Amino acid sequence: MKTELKAKFLQHILDKKKGDEGFTLIELLVVIIIIGILSAIALPSFLNQANKGKQSEAKQYSGSMNRAQQAYFLENGSFTTDLNSLGMGIRSQTENYIYAINGTGTGVGNNGYSLKAPLKSYVGVVALSIQSGTSEATTLAVLCESNNVGALTASVAPSFANTPLEPTCPSNFSPLKSK
């Protein structure tokens, strides 16, 4: 081939490649639609995970309050309704939850009730259980999660089953399985 013909042929190939650069409008629309569908699927899942992270604070604090109540009973022979007496160093109110204790001489409810609508509330119930026919006493505890999301305005009273006394979840609460 002649040099001039070779140069024209190479120029033609280079011009053709330059014309193929970039994306068409259809290709860009398809990519945008795919990104939109993926974000519509992922966003609710992400928001749910954020709420679960916030709820883990109350779950952890209520469970720790249960264990602290059991230790307090072992040392003092009674339960306490004062959060500071447990010596845990937690605040009675955070951005998402209020922590409070209510109860009687035979048991207490360690509340972590939500301040925000998308969060669940938690209550830990600790009871003094005396076996019938013996003088043996033990403290039993259960951690409960509200069945519905939503802000609560007051502490939930503890709930107990009779003979021997066992902690149970209050109405509208379900026990959490220990892992």
pLDDT tens digit string along 60-76?
999 999 999 999 999 99
Give the span between the Cα atoms of 107 and 166, in whole angstroms. Answer: 9
What are the pLDDT digits (tens) for 149-167?
888 777 777 877 776 678 8
pLDDT, position 163: 60
84 is written with which tokens? 């500071």
Task: Give me the pLDDT at residue 145, please.
Answer: 93
pLDDT at position 70 is 92
Q: Please write down the long-range contacts of 49-52, taking CB distance under 8 Å and 24 or more positions apart.
A: 51/118, 51/119
* CA distance from start to end of the chain: 80
Q: Using 50 as the pLDDT threshold, list the residues of the chain that sit under it.
A: 179
pLDDT of residue 60: 93
Which pLDDT score is estimated for 118?
87
User: pLDDT at position 17, please?
Assistant: 62
Q: How many whole angstroms separate alpha carbon 56 and alpha carbon 58?
A: 5
